[in-house]
């Protein structure tokens, strides 16, 4: 949610520097600063007053101090492992525009919670499923969503917990490198994900007859495969997802879908051992009869493709455009696409910091993920309500 920031009691047209700091759960520090000038009345309201050049951002950006947060340790990604505790933000106001900043004039703290009052967090260990279910307040049945993360393993709860705040029963689903799940699977089994769908549909607080899927990156290709092969999938939102199986073959019953071939010769080295891997996946639309392509024409679900035009991991905009053309050619109308300029591979909920360079999910080396600061923040703010509206409409 947006935050209103104002400073009162300054001198007329006084120049100040505002600095925001946050320590993540590992203790790593994120900071952003901006230079401002108070009005004639000594007041400074970030909703009305543009930031001056020289800080982390400039222009009228009321939430800039949050979305411009940058890790002091290079290439560090802000993760929220424990959604039951808030992030603590520290805001400081310094006199003048100096570097280092002048005298400390005022400070305030602010908590950013992930769970609103009444949202329940339920660890799930049913059959093979390893997950966490977030239930909104109240006893009604709620529309159900399964949130499937990208490569990297483990269990990510931040997006699922935030969706539950908006009235969705949301299951954050782990599928490898978590508890007793396989560490390095040689193939993934669609039956595991089918079990998660059945778990949701038999839950008394999940409103059927189908569920929604929100998949990011590898989680998106899994979600799209679920829509193609499984029953009771009503709506799928794909965040920068491939439309072919990647990295690990997918088995369902006696059928195996091979993963898309990688051509490591297409890796480019940018500088100081940072890679550009945007061309390493072979094009599933150019290889005739490609077995990795997900047969999305079989899907009855509504499909929402959300893509970053600067995605350097998956050519997600190209993939989504091509698959929509194929569906259209078959007379299908169950798809829509949102495409964002200046947006890289990571699309988090609003005001999470940009993560433009990080660990490549397949090559496990430092690589460009893409994205530019201001454009990315606008994409997050726009996409988040669109995702909710999509699931509200179809679930």
Catalytic positions, please?
A: 217, 311, 345
Q: Report CA-CA distances (Å) from 96 to 5, 39, 107.
A: 18, 14, 15
Per-residue burial over 306-339, b if 16 or more Cβ lie within 10 Å, else e, is bbbbbbbbbbbbebbebbbebbeeeeeeebeebe
Under a CB-based contact definition with an 8 Å cutoff, are residues 224 and 243 in contact?
Answer: yes
Peptide bond just before 100 cis, omega within 30 deg: yes
Cα 49 from Cα 59, distance rounded (Å): 8
Q: Which residues contact 354 (CB under 8 A, 6 or more apart)?
A: 67, 70, 344, 346, 371, 372, 373, 376, 377
Residue whose C-alpha is closest to residue 227's, from 146, 134, 325: 146
The first and second tokens of residue 201, run together, are 């549909």
Question: Cα–chain-centroid distance for residue 158?
Answer: 9
The first and second tokens of residue 159, run together, are 């997006």
Residue whose C-alpha is closest to residue 21's, from 59, 56, 60, 58: 56
Per-residue burial over 196-211, b if 16 or more Cβ lie within 10 Å, else e, is bbbbbbebebbbeebb
β-pairing, 274-276 vs 268-271, is antiparallel
Residue whose C-alpha is closest to residue 368's, from 317, 316, 313: 313
């Amino acid at each position: 949610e947006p935050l209103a920031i104002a400073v009162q009691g300054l001198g007329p047209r006084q120049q100040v520097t505002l600095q925001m700091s946050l320590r993540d759960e590992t203790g790593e520090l994120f900071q952003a600063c901006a230079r401002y000038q108070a009005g004639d009345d000594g007041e400074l309201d970030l909703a009305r007053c543009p930031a001056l050049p020289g800080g982390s951002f400039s222009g009228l950006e009321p939430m800039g101090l949050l979305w411009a947060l940058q890790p002091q340790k290079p290439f560090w990604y802000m993760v929220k492992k424990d959604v039951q505790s808030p992030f603590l933000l520290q805001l400081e106001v310094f006199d003048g525009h100096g570097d280092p900043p002048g005298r400390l004039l005022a400070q305030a703290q602010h908590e950013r919670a992930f769970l609103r009052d009444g949202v329940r967090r339920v660890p799930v260990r049913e059959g093979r499923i390893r997950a966490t279910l977030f239930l909104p307040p109240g006893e009604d049945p709620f529309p159900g969503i399964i949130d499937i993360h990208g490569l990297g393993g483990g269990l990510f709860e931040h997006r699922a917990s935030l969706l539950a705040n908006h009235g969705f029963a949301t299951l954050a689903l782990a599928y490898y490198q978590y508890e007793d799940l396989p560490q390095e699977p040689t193939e993934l089994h669609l039956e595991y994900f089918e079990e998660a769908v059945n778990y949701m549909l038999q839950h008394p607080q999940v409103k059927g007859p189908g569920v929604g899927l929100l998949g990011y990156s590898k989680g998106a290709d899994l979600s799209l495969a679920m829509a193609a092969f499984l029953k009771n999938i009503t709506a799928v939102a794909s965040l920068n997802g491939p439309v072919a199986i990647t990295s690990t073959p997918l088995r369902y019953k006696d059928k195996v879908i091979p993963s898309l071939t990688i051509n490591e010769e297409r890796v480019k080295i940018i500088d100081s051992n940072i890679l550009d891997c945007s061309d390493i996946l072979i094009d599933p639309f150019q290889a005739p009869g490609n077995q990795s392509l997900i047969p999305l024409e079989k899907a009855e679900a509504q499909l929402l493709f959300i893509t970053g035009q600067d995605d350097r991991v998956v050519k997600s905009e190209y993939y989504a455009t091509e698959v929509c053309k194929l569906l259209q050619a078959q007379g299908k109308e169950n798809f829509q696409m949102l495409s964002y300029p200046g947006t890289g591979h990571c699309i988090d909920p609003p005001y999470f910091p940009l993560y433009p360079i990080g660990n490549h999910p397949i090559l496990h080396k430092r690589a460009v993920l893409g994205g530019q600061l201001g454009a990315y923040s606008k994409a997050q703010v726009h996409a988040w309500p669109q995702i909710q509206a999509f699931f509200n409409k179809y679930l």
